[in-house]
Structure 1
Amino acid sequence: MGIRKRGPFPIVSIVLSCFVLLAIVSGCDAPATKPGTDEGKKDVNIANQKGGTVTVAISSEPDTLDVHKSTALSTEGVALNLGAALLYRDPQTNEVKPHLAESYSISDDGKTWTFRIRKGVTFHDGTLLTAQAYKRTFERAMSPEIAPKGVGMVLGIIKSIKTTDDRTLILELNEPSATLLTYFTSASWMQPLSVDAVQKSGGQYGRNPVGVGPWKMESWKSGDSITLIQNDAYRWATPFFKNQGPPRPDKLVLKLIRNPQTAVAALESGTIDIADLPAKDAKKFKNNNRFTVLEQIKRGLGLFVELNLKNEILQDKNVRKALQMAVKKEAIVQSHLQGEGIVADGPLPANLFGYDQSIAQYAYKYNPEEAMKLLEEAGWKLNAQGIREKAGKPLHLELLSMEAWSQPAQLMQGMFKAIGVDVKIITLEGSAVDQLTAAGTFDLALDGYVADDPDILFPFMHSSQIGGMNRSAIHDKTIDSLLEKGQVTMKSDDRAKIYEDLQKRVVEEAFWIPIYTEKRFVVVNNRVQGLMLDPSGLKLYQDVWVK
Structure 2
Amino acid sequence: MKRLILFLMVIGLLSACTAKPTETLQGAASEGADSESVFLPVLEGESQEAMESNSGETEPITTESVEVEPMVVTRVLTSDPNSLDPHGAISAGQNVVLPFLLDTLVYRDENNKYHPYLAESWQVLEGGRVYQFVLKSGVKFHDGSDLNADAVRFNFQRIKDASGISPLAGSFAIIESMEVVDELTLRITLTAPSATFLGTISTPYAGIVSPTAVEVWGEEFGQHLVGSGAYQLDDWETGLFISLVKNENYQWAPQPIKNQGAPYIDEMNFKIIPDATMQYNAFLSGEVDILFINDPEQVKTFQQVPEAVVEPITLNSLIYIGFNCTQAPFDQVTMRKVIAHAIDKELLVELALGGVGSAAHTLIVPTLAGYDESLETLDPTYDPALSQSILREEGYQQENNGTWTKNGQPLALELLISTRSPNEALATVVQAQLKEIGIPVTINALDSGAARTAATSGDYQFSIWRYDWNDPDILNMYLSTEMIGRTNRQFYSNPDLDQILAEGETQLDEAAREQLYVQAQQILMQDLPWIPLYVPLDFVVMRNTIQDYQIGSMGRIVLNDAVVKK
Superposition TM-score, scaled by structure 2 size: 0.84
Q: Do 2:167 and 2:477's aligned partners in 1 also have CA atoms closer than 8 Å?
A: no
**Distance in 2 (alpha carbons) for counterparts of 1:513 and 1:340:** 19
CA shift, 1:148, in A, is 2.5
* 1:182 lines up with 2:207 in the alignment: no
Q: 1:315 to 1:141 in 2, by over 3 A?
A: closer
Distance in 1 (alpha carbons) for counterparts of 2:109 and 2:557: 17
Partner-residue secondary structure (3-state), 1:431? helix
* CA–CA distance in structure 2, aligned partners of residues 236 and 294 of structure 1: 27
Aligned pairs for 1:163-242 (under 5 A) are 163-186=180-203, 188-242=204-258
- Report 1 or 2 for greater relative contact order, CA contacts < 8 Å, sequence distance ≥ 6: 1
C-alpha deviation, 1:357, in angstroms: 2.2
For 1:534, the equivalent position in structure 2 comes to 552
Partner of residue 313, structure 2: 296
SS in 2 for 1:275: strand
Alignment of 1:32-431 (within 5 A): 51-91=70-110, 94-143=112-161, 145=163, 147-186=164-203, 188-277=204-293, 278-301=295-318, 303-404=319-420, 405-431=423-449
Identity of aligned residues (%): 29
Whether contact under 8 Å (2:341, 2:380) holds in the other structure is yes
Instruction: Please tell me whether the aligned partners of residues 546 and 562 of structure 2 are also in contact (alpha carbons under 8 angstroms).
Output: yes
> Distance between the aligned counterparts of 1:443 and 1:89, measured in 2?
37
What pairs up with 1:2-13 in 2 under 5 angstroms? none
Q: Which moved more, 1:365-374 or 1:212-221?
A: 365-374
Q: Deviations over 1:244-292 (max 9, x none)?
A: 2211111111111111100111111111111223221231222433221
Q: Secondary structure at the match of 1:468?
A: coil
1:117/1:46 CA distance change after superposition, 3 Å: same
The separation in 2 between residues aligned to 1:202 and 1:511, in whole angstroms, is 38
Residue 468 of structure 2 is aligned to residue 450 of structure 1: yes
Report if aligned partners of 1:322, 1:375 keep a CA contact under 8 Å in 2.
yes
Paired position in structure 1 for 2:13: none
Gaps of 5+ in 2: 1-39, 44-67
Please give the alpha-carbon distance, in whole angstroms, between the structure 2 residues aligned to 1:121 and 1:356.
44
TM-score under structure 1 length normalisation: 0.87
State the alpha-carbon separation in 1 of the partners of residues 242 and 447 from structure 2. 20
Are the structure 2 counterparts of residues 239 and 50 from structure 1 closer, same or farther at C-alpha, using a change threshold of 3 Å?
farther
2:543 is matched with 525
Preserved CA contact (<8 Å) 1:50 1:248 = no
* Pairwise CA distance, 1:47: 12
Residue 7 of structure 1 corresponds to: none
- Counterparts of 1:482 and 1:89, CA distance in 2: 26
Larger radius of gyration: 2
**1:479 maps to which residue?**
497
The more displaced of 255-264 and 335-344 is 335-344
Q: 2:110–2:551: 8 Å Cα contact kept in structure 1?
A: no
Whole-angstrom CA distance in 2 between matches of 1:288 and 1:90: 30
* CA-CA distance at 1:521 after TM superposition: 2.1
Deviations 1:177-213 (A, max 9, x none): 1111101222x21121110111122533212211111
Q: Against the structure 1 CA distance between its residues 534 and 374, is the aligned structure 2 distance closer, same or farther, given a 3 Å change threshold?
A: farther
1:439 pairs with 2:457: yes
**Do 2:230 and 2:250's aligned partners in 1 also have CA atoms closer than 8 Å?**
yes
CA gap 1:522/1:95 in 2 versus in 1, 3 angstroms: closer
What per-residue deviation string (whole Å, max 9, x for no partner) do you get for residues 429-453 of structure 1?
A: 2222222222222211121111011
Greater mean deviation of Cα atoms: 205-214 or 535-544 = 535-544
Asked if the contact 2:116–2:255 (Cα under 8 Å) also holds between the matched residues in 1, the reply is no
Structure 2 match to 1:28: none
For residues 457 and 467 of structure 2, the distance between their equivalents in structure 1, rounded to whole angstroms, comes to: 19
1:458-537 aligned at under 5 Å gives the runs 458-537=476-555
Superposed CA offset, 1:35-76 (max 9, x none): xxxxxxxxxx99989941111111111111111113235112
Return the letter of the residue paired with 1:433.
A
Report the AA paired with residue 203 of structure 1.
Answer: E
- Aligned positions, number: 499
Q: Kindly tell me: are residues 91 and 512 of structure 1, through their superposed partners in 2, closer, same or farther at Cα, counting changes over 3 Å?
A: closer
The C-alpha deviation readout for 1:65-113, integer Å capped at 9, x for no partner, is 1111132351121111011111123545x43232211111122332221
Residues of 1 paired with 2:466 and 2:309: CA distance?
Answer: 26
Amino acid at match of 1:316: Q
Matched AA of 2:264: R
Do the aligned partners of residues 289 and 430 (structure 1) sit closer, same or farther apart at CA in structure 2, a change above 3 Å counting? Answer: closer
Distance 2:202 2:519 in 1: 27
The SS at the match of 2:206 is coil
SS at match of 2:537: strand
Q: Distance in 1 between matches of 2:475 and 2:75?
A: 31
Closer/same/farther in 2, CA of residues 220 and 415 from structure 1, 3 Å limit:
same
Matches of 1:112 and 1:298 in 2, distance apart?
A: 30
What is residue 22 of structure 1 aligned with on the other side?
Answer: none
Point out where structure 1 has 5 or more consecutive residues left out of the alignment. Answer: 1-44
| Preserved CA contact (<8 Å) 1:131 1:166 | yes
Amino acid at match of 1:290: E
| Partner Cα distance (1:156, 1:287) in 2 | 49
The Cα of 1:175 is off from its aligned counterpart by 1.7
Runs of 4+ in 1 over 6 A off after TM superposition: 45-50
Alignment partners' CA distance in 2, 1:66 and 1:360:
39
Deviations 1:511-537 (A, max 9, x none): 211111111122221111123333422
d(CA) in 2 for partners of 1:46, 1:349: 44
